[in-house]
Amino acid sequence: MATVDHEKSSAARLRIMAARILAQARWPYVSTLLYSLKLVESDPAEISTMAVDTGWRLYYSPDFVMSETPEALATVLLHECLHCMLEHGRRFEALSTEDKDHSVWNYAGDCAINQILDDAHMPWTVVTPVRYKNIEHQGVDKTMPTEAAYAVMIEFRRQNPEEPKARDCGSVSGGQNRGYELEPEDPNSPSTSINQKDNILDSVASAVIAAQNNGDDIPDGIARIARDRLEPTVNWKKLLAFNVRSAISNVAGRRDYTYARPSRRQSSINSGGANFIFPAMRQPQPPCVGIVLDTSGSINDETLDIYLSEIRGIFSAVGVSSGLWVLPCDSKVHEIAKIKSFDLTKVRIQGGGGTNMAVGVAEALKIRPRVNIIVVLTDGATPWPTKKPVGSILYLAVLTTKTYEQYVPSWMTPVVIEE
């Protein structure tokens, strides 16, 4: 595989190193990863462009390298770094799917990566990167996680076997080791161990977060990878469910034991001569819940519908299926309905102009029998009640926009939901 053309070989090495310097200058926070990639020259017959293996060794064709400018090669290098950062290899393995489909997975991963690079305006020259627009016809859109895009693409290919094969970025993006790869214990370029890779990815993520706290401009995609690694955000459904569950246990208590009242079995046990004390069970009435829904138009119907059904699902999962009231509210409250008979489309016609959730809260307090929990679902751009209404009622403010979280009164529990 060694090429006889030493001059070309060293020129290619110089260029790829120059590219690495440019790539480092663009995204300094990926430095430790970028410089950990071990450069291995390969036979152009085996690798037409560049590839990385699971041990983070970067194989390149000198012909390809010499055909590109250092600026464009820097973009390709960052592309390979993103395969590492997004852990495409591990994620493909976790799918436990057929190994032969790794090129399809690679295609889906490439689109996600190139989206991040395009957002950061990275230059390309000779190579035309694959983008989401190339797979739109297969039913993939760019909001999909790579796993979902892969599933869609596999299904499409099953129905359209003539779809051309995708290119490969090496085993870093999943699948068995490729034929051209070095042995894991190659003396000159040993592969990077899983733990070392994890440590490097951690340090990259820390560097990204440090740079972001420092006020540097970080591409969204990169910031998201770092956050997912170090500060995994809790899914809003989980957070909402958690808050609903603890609200219910606080307002009404659920099935639980208490020593505050004697057990119903107590008398019969004691009459038998024993002197044990048993706790009583208590299960109070399920709480009533008022859901104040912002129908002022700042949240679209479809989104509103998703959130509403999620809230309903959470309440019914914890055993509250009746006593759920919906109060459609813009500047005033429209017809209050039980959640089961609630129809969003009818409400929307009534809506229009102004937002005031304080009105909705005041109206929810008038419902009889009294509500124990009030959930306000809004984007957050609304006046709030100026002081806490009297009564031991729990308030959840479900916001669709994080910016307005700071305006939520302190006696309400905010939950920010994001898709």
Partner 1 sequence: MLSLHEYEETYLALGVCVEANVPVILWGPPGQGKTSVIRALAAKSKRHLEIILASIREPQDFAGLPSIVNGKMTLVAPDWAQRLAETDSGILFTDEVNTAPPSVQAALLRVCLDKVAGDCDLGSDTGVIAAANPPEQAADGWDLAPPLANRFCHLDWSLPVEVVRMGLSGQWPTYDFSKPDPGKLQQDLASERAVVSGFITSRPDLVTALPDSSAEQGRAFPTPRSWESAALLSAFVTAANLSEGVRRLLLKGSIGVAASAEYITYRNNLDLPNPEQVLANPDDFTLPTRADQIYVLGAGILNVLSRDATVPRWHAAGTVLEKIVEGGHPDMAVSFARQWLKIRPGNEIPNSAVLRALVPLLTEAKLI
Decide whether 23 or 336 has the Cβ nearer to partner 1.
23
**Omega within 30 of 0 (cis) for the link into 369:** yes
Look at residues 306, 342, 303, 343 and name the one whose alpha carbon lies nearest to residue 325: 342
The footprint of partner 1 (CB under 8 A) covers 14-15, 17-22, 24-25, 31-33, 35-36, 38, 70, 90, 93-94, 96, 193-196, 198-200, 202-203, 205-206, 229-234, 237-239, 241-243, 245-246, 249, 254-259, 275-279, 317-319
Which pair of structure tokens corresponds to residue 369? Answer: 């029998």
Decide whether 38 or 334 has the Cβ nearer to partner 1.
38
**Using CA atoms, how far apart are residues 80 and 47, in angstroms rounded to an integer?**
14
Instruction: Give the shortest CB-356-to-partner 1 separation in angstroms.
Output: 28
Instruction: Give the shortest CB-230-to-partner 1 separation in angstroms.
Output: 5
Decide whether 65 or 361 has the Cβ nearer to partner 1.
65
Which pair of structure tokens corresponds to residue 205? Answer: 């993520």
**Using CA atoms, how far apart are residues 404 and 358, in angstroms rounded to an integer?**
15
**Using CA atoms, how far apart are residues 245 and 394, in angstroms rounded to an integer?**
12
Instruction: Give the shortest CB-205-to-partner 1 separation in angstroms.
Output: 7
Decide whether 249 or 303 has the Cβ nearer to partner 1.
249
Decide whether 234 or 306 has the Cβ nearer to partner 1.
234
Instruction: Give the shortest CB-96-to-partner 1 separation in angstroms.
Output: 5
Instruction: Give the shortest CB-300-to-partner 1 separation in angstroms.
Output: 26
- Cα 304 to Cα 79, 181, 307, 345, 363: the distances in Å are 37, 51, 5, 11, 20
Decide whether 318 or 365 has the Cβ nearer to partner 1.
318
With b meaning 16 or more CB within 10 Å and e meaning fewer, what string describes 152-177? bbbebbeeeeeeeebebbbbbbbbee
